[in-house]
Amino acid sequence: MTVPPYPVHLILEGRRCLVVGGGRVAARKAESLLASGAVVHVIATEPGEEIRALPVTVEERPYRHGDADGYRLVVTATDDPDVNRAVYLDAEAAGVWVNGADDPAHCSFTLPSVLRRGDLVLTVGTSGRSPALARWLRDRLAEEIGPEYELLLDLLADARGSLQAAGRPTDTVDWQRALDSDMLELIRNGQVAAARERLKACLSSSSD
């Protein structure tokens, strides 16, 4: 068994990230970074149309020693193992986190499969051992966890914000009781107002 990785959600908004590679895989990696608000720069010998269509800056040239310096995060997506290794060594020397697409030997972090429901983010990782299994499990979760969970999160977050605004502690509230109620079923049936009232009732009784 490998040493388990430390799971974390990085805040990349406004931070500079580098993608090395110009093909479809590189484009998908760049899109994921952009979705998190990153400022993405691409270095590729042959940037494809998918890369050029993205709101990224592009340098059409080979990777050069030291290019990884100054970035918060680097992703390599080339079919050249020598380039992947060079980027990895540069990033490691510069203290920059680096991921090599389908190249776990040249990674300081791995990328999980992601399921998003608004601000609810579920990730499945296999420590880089089987991306196919991670995707399969993500798709199974997607069948079970629908858009109603996004609404559930909104209701809980609004209630938490109201408690904080009133100067009440939120860590002593019995959130579990609310989640174990029929709130989710009410949301599924389109009865969002009723779900909100159910939440209020649960929180009120837990503070008595």
Domains of the chain as residue ranges with CATH? 16-111 (3.40.50.720), 148-206 (no CATH)
Element of type H or E holding 59:
strand 57-60
The CB density around residue 38, as the number of other CB atoms within 10 Å, is: 24
Q: Is the pLDDT of residue 1 over 90?
A: no
Tell me which of 13-27, 37-51, 77-91, 124-138 is least confident: 124-138
- Torsions phi, psi for 157 (to 5 deg): -65, -40
Q: Is the pLDDT of residue 28 over 50?
A: yes
Q: Is the pLDDT of residue 148 over 90?
A: yes
State residue 25's pLDDT score: 96
Tell me the per-residue pLDDT of 175-206, one tens digit each, with 9 for 90 and over.
999 999 999 999 999 999 999 999 999 988 76
SS3 51: helix
Burial 73-87 (b: 16+ CB within 10 A, else e): bbbbbbeeeebbebb
Q: Is the pLDDT of residue 11 over 70?
A: yes
Give the pLDDT band of residue 27 (cuts 50, 70, 90): very high
Give the pLDDT band of residue 137 (cuts 50, 70, 90): very high
Q: Is the pLDDT of residue 80 over 80?
A: yes
Q: Which of 25, 125, 37, 122 is nearest to 75 (CA)?
A: 25
Entry pTM: 0.83
Asked whether 67 and 90 are in contact (CB, 8 A), the reply is yes
Q: Higher pLDDT residue, 43 or 207?
A: 43
Give the pLDDT band of residue 127 (cuts 50, 70, 90): confident
- Taking the C-alpha atoms of residue 189 and residue 121, their distance in angstroms, rounded to an integer, is 23
- Taking the C-alpha atoms of residue 96 and residue 72, their distance in angstroms, rounded to an integer, is 6
Give the pLDDT band of residue 5 (cuts 50, 70, 90): confident
